[in-house]
Amino acid sequence: MTTTPELESAAVRLSTAPEPVGPQRPRQLMAPVRRLWRQLTSMRTALLLLFLLALGAVPGGFLPQRSLNPVRVDQYVAKHPTLAPILDRLSLFDVFAAPWFAAVYLLLFVSLVGCLVPRIRLHARALRKPPPQAPGNLARLPASARWETSVPAEEVLGLAERRLRRWRTSRRGDALGAERGYLRETGNLLFHVSLVLLLVGIAVGQFYGFKGTVLVKEGSGFANAIASYDDIHPGRRFRQDSLVPLHFTLDDFRATYGPDGKARTFDAKVHYATSPDAPMAPYDIRVNHPLHVGAAKVYLIGHGYNVHVVVREKDGQVALDDSVGVPCLPQDARFLSTCTIKVPETRGPQLGFEGAFTPTTVRDPKTGRVGSAHPAVQAPALTIVGFSGDLGIDAGVPGSVYSLDHTHLTPLDGGRPHILVPGTSWQLPGGGSITFAGVTEWSTFQLTQDPGKRIALVAAIGIVLGLCLSLFVRRRRLWVRVRPETGTLTVVEVGGLARTDPDAFAAEFEELVSRLRSDIPPAAPTQATSTQEAE
């Protein structure tokens, strides 16, 4: 890195990058503030903050995150009782919502804006200004050439100007300055401005967006209202009345699998309407194929089985017959699913059942444990344990529909599991029975509204476009100087530089010089073109 001051000054202005922060003499009261600001908007700080951003994201890439999978966070906490509380104190299970992470990216963006504003101003000025004056000695530039010609000086500059017509040129005295590739800086600024726009888009989505999930059984419906959801994530500024009007019914859900049990297709057939009196229109919601309604989209995000059971009391009276079924929650890829059946409306003690549904049932010959060999319904079975007593539903404590509160329950038949296949029943010890009538399916849907999405997409396009311009366009400068020599000879000197990719520039320069030499033929044996490394 031995660059002459001259070269330095010719090259530096090829970039509008903030200059290194040097020692400054404080002149006014505001001086320390100004110095701090310059420090914050320097390239060095930007680099440091970018580095911290990458580093800060690392725990988010290794540790389970609450926003993604709270269950796995709980498992991790249980497994690491001493370490986990410390990690939790540092927000390492919520990295992307952590105050320190926000501090890094907000500082980065403050730095970015602070750095962009002057750069945009500088670039706008550079776009209007002619290329700078030629440095004193063109031979000192990374690429230079020199020859003598019998073409008169004035004419040489005219010919050179014609050759460089795709460059921006300006003639000053005995020299012609030329510059190309302003789009590089334009692209760079577009890229950085788009980054800011992207952040705006994300923020709009965070504040005004909505996400909710709901489980819908085959044959049931859904109406879009906050109360209908199982789980909601509204943005801080989301207003309920901005939920799009929508209701739909799930007519049929179908999944197909390969022989290895890997899923091939999922397909939820629905009928939907966007106003109470509109006719219902059919639609297939599939993976990668959501339902669009106004500003919202409805996605198919999961599926599972409902078991249809009929519970009868001693005298044969039906206590439970929910033909829509009780949803079971899948536990593995082969859809072994846990089911919880509550029978509160009995005249005697209440009944509850817990167990597993297996679509393709297999039994381990040694342990007798039941498992599922395939996610499709090929040999369905329901394996349950029964309880009687008080389900605790009336106590006013909102219990989960997916688990039993065992405090006031006693197991039936000593807690022995019973395996039912469709159509079979278990005669309960105290009289009465439970019959496994059949299976249907359910799907989970997610409705999202993200008003910032458009902005983010525009920003993304700006980012890619800006990057391409910024990385593929080369900004370079060239000067041609003429000096009348003794007699009729004219000395032509050409020098040029590019701040990036000197190899490619050297090739371009050589090509250009050979063109110029054919326009402006050398008079006598001349020195060859020389290119040196810029670094």
Partner 1 sequence: MAHLSDSLLFVAVLVYAMAMLGFAADAAARRASRVLSVEAVARDLVGAAGPPVTVTERPVRASGWVGTVALGLTALGWLAHVTSVVTRGVAAGRVPWGNMYEFSSAAALVAVTGFLVLVARGRVDKSLGAFVMLPVVLYLGLAGTVLYTKVGPLVPALNSYWIKIHVAAAVTASGAFLLSGVIALLYLLRVRFDERTVVGGSVRFPVSLGRSLPVAGSLDRAAYVVIAFAFPVWTFAIIAGAIWAEAAWGRYWGWDPKETWSFITWVLYACYLHARATGGWKGPKAAWIAVAAAGALIVDYYVVNIFVVGLHSYA
Footprint on this chain of partner 1 (rule: CB under 8 A): 1, 15, 17, 20, 43-44, 46-47, 50-51, 53-54, 57-58, 60-62, 64-65, 67-69, 72, 95-96, 202, 211, 258, 260, 262-266, 286-290, 297, 299, 301, 446, 448, 450, 453, 456-457, 460, 463-464, 467-468, 471-472, 500-503, 533, 535
What Å distances lie between residue 222 and 215, 216, 270, 285, 380, CA to CA?
9, 7, 10, 14, 28
For position 374 contacting ligand HEM by CB under 6 A, the verdict is no
Sites for ligand HEM among residues 18-77 (CB under 6 A): 18, 41-43, 46, 50
Q: Smallest distance from the beta carbon of 215 to partner 1, in angstroms?
A: 15
CB-wise, 20 or 81, nearer to ligand HEM? 20
d(C-alpha 493, C-alpha 482), whole Å: 6
Work out which of 202, 393, 460, 471 binds ligand HEM, going by CB under 6 A. Answer: 471
Complete DSSP assignment for 172-200: ETTEEEEEE-HHHHHHHHHHHHHHHHHHH
Helix axes 453-472, 182-208, angle to 10 degrees: 160
Work out which of 92, 95, 104, 108 binds ligand HEM, going by CB under 6 A. Answer: 108
Q: Which does 453 bind (CB under 5 to 8 A by kind): ligand HEM, partner 1, none?
A: partner 1
d(C-alpha 276, C-alpha 148), whole Å: 88
Q: Which does 257 bind (CB under 5 to 8 A by kind): partner 1, ligand HEM, none?
A: none
d(C-alpha 210, C-alpha 240), whole Å: 9
Sites for ligand HEM among residues 375-404 (CB under 6 A): none
Strand partners, 409: 389
Apex 409 CA angle, 406 and 412, nearest 5 = 115
Phi/psi-derived region of residue 196, left when phi > 0, alpha when psi is between -120 and 50, beta in every other case: alpha
For position 232 contacting ligand HEM by CB under 6 A, the verdict is no
Q: Smallest distance from the beta carbon of 60 to partner 1, in angstroms?
A: 5
Q: Smallest distance from the beta carbon of 284 to ligand HEM, in angstroms?
A: 40
CB-based contact 331:302 (threshold 8 Å)? no
Q: Which does 51 bind (CB under 5 to 8 A by kind): ligand HEM, partner 1, none?
A: partner 1
d(C-alpha 109, C-alpha 113), whole Å: 6
d(C-alpha 439, C-alpha 148), whole Å: 94
**Sole window of 153-161, 188-196, 344-352, 478-486 interacting with ligand HEM (rule: CB under 6 A):** 188-196
CA 510 to chain centre: 45
Q: Which does 448 bind (CB under 5 to 8 A by kind): partner 1, ligand HEM, none?
A: partner 1
Q: Smallest distance from the beta carbon of 370 to ligand HEM, in angstroms?
A: 53
| Tokens at 126, concatenated | 């550079």
Q: Smallest distance from the beta carbon of 407 to ligand HEM, in angstroms?
A: 54
The single residue listed with the structure tokens 């369905």 is 380
Q: Which does 112 bind (CB under 5 to 8 A by kind): ligand HEM, partner 1, none?
A: ligand HEM
d(C-alpha 447, C-alpha 46), whole Å: 38
d(C-alpha 286, C-alpha 299), whole Å: 8
Q: Which does 154 bind (CB under 5 to 8 A by kind): ligand HEM, partner 1, none?
A: none
For position 149 contacting ligand HEM by CB under 6 A, the verdict is no
Helical residues (DSSP H) of 314-448, grouped into ranges:
none
Work out which of 65, 149, 188, 360 binds ligand HEM, going by CB under 6 A. Answer: 188
Q: Smallest distance from the beta carbon of 1 to partner 1, in angstroms?
A: 8
Strands 231-234 vs 247-257: parallel, antiparallel or unpaired: unpaired
CB-based contact 157:171 (threshold 8 Å)? yes
For position 198 contacting ligand HEM by CB under 6 A, the verdict is no
What is the binding site for ligand HEM (CB under 6 A)? 15, 17-18, 41-43, 46, 50, 108, 111-112, 115, 188, 191-192, 195, 467, 470-471
